[in-house]
């Protein structure tokens, strides 16, 4: 089965210290991969979880730093192109 897991951009997966959600998603991604599933974890570029990864933010944006997603000034129904997704595949010999 192909499974996509989307993590919040606040901390990498797994987190360097405390990160409850990120820790759970790390265990979930590893467990699903070990069970034979094709897993893609959408996280931050600095994440080290050993499954295929994609990201929008190269580095985690942190918690409580005042960052907010940009507001869309154009309210028309014209669709915009999605951001380019970078991916990294990790393999172990």
**Segment 10-68, tens digit of pLDDT:** 899 998 888 789 999 999 999 999 999 999 999 999 999 999 999 989 988 886 666 55
Asked if residue 42 lies in contact with residue 6, where contact means CB atoms within 8 angstroms, the answer is: yes
DSSP state of 43: E
Q: Tokens for 76?
A: 């028309």
pLDDT confidence bin for 84, thresholds 50/70/90: low
- Can you tell me the distance from the alpha carbon of 84 to that of 14, in angstroms, rounded to the nearest whole number? 23
Q: Is the pLDDT of residue 87 over 90?
A: no
- Can you tell me the distance from the alpha carbon of 12 to that of 27, in angstroms, rounded to the nearest whole number? 13
Query: In this predicted structure, what is the pLDDT of residue 16?
Result: 85
Query: In this predicted structure, what is the pLDDT of residue 93?
Result: 44
The answer to pTM > 0.75 is no
Question: Could you give the strand order of the β-sheet that contains 2-6, starting from the edge strand earlier in sequence?
Answer: 2-6, 38-43, 52-55, 86-88
């Amino acid at each position: 089965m192909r499974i996509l897991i989307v993590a919040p951009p606040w901390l990498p997966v797994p987190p360097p210290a405390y990160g409850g959600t990120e820790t759970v998603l790390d265990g979930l991604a590893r467990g699903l991969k070990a069970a034979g599933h094709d897993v893609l974890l959408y996280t931050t570029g600095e994440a080290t979880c050993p499954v295929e990864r994609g990201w929008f933010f190269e580095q985690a944006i942190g918690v409580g730093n005042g960052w907010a997603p940009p507001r869309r000034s154009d309210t028309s129904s014209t669709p915009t192109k999605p951001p380019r997704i970078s991916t990294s595949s990790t393999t172990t010999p």
